[in-house]
Amino acid sequence: MTTEPTTDGFTRILVATDFSPTSEGAWLAARRLAKPLGAEVVVLHVLVEAPLFSEGPFTMKHARNVFEAARAWVEKTLGEWVATATTAGVRARWTVRTGVPYKEIVAAAESERPDFIVMGTQGRGGLDRALLGSVAEKVIRLAPCPVLTVRETG
């Protein structure tokens, strides 16, 4: 027996962003989907801490300052995105996590319990994907909910 997908009950969409053009496209797609559904959009960014060095030009203090500046920029930018969505009539909020991107996206999906995840994908194939892996591919395999990927247009 096959069941048709339904939009009944969609209440939360998780959007993962790295601020690339494709992830900005995912953010816009999630907003467009959320508005007629009346769903809340939770936009997530995962900060990756750089390795800390105790000697040389990149001391732990310098690395911490760079990390905190990056966090401040991310929080400001996500706040602007949420304000824009709210002005457009979409319920939205943001969250920031630190760690390995695919692991943190899956963890956020487990704690936020979205109906689905929306994220951008670079569409890499072959050797690039084999060497680098794909955050989207790992999320698709491990997430507790469906994942909608948005490719770069053009």
Domain count, the chain: 1
Residue 131 inside a domain? The answer is: yes
Residue 139 inside a domain? The answer is: yes
CATH of the domain at 108: 3.40.50.620
Question: Which residues constitute the domain of residue 92?
Answer: 12-151
**In this structure, are residues 67 and 16 in contact, taking their beta carbons and an 8 Å threshold?**
no
Residue 24 inside a domain? The answer is: yes
CA dihedral 79, 82, 84, 86 (to 10 degrees): -130
Mean pLDDT of 41-69: 78
Helical H segments across 88-134, by residue range: 101-112, 126-132
Does residue 94 carry a pLDDT above 90? yes
Residue 16 inside a domain? The answer is: yes
Q: For the segment 97-113, what is each residue's pLDDT rounded down to a tens digit?
A: 999 999 999 999 999 99
Residue 115 inside a domain? The answer is: yes
Q: What is the pTM of this model?
A: 0.84
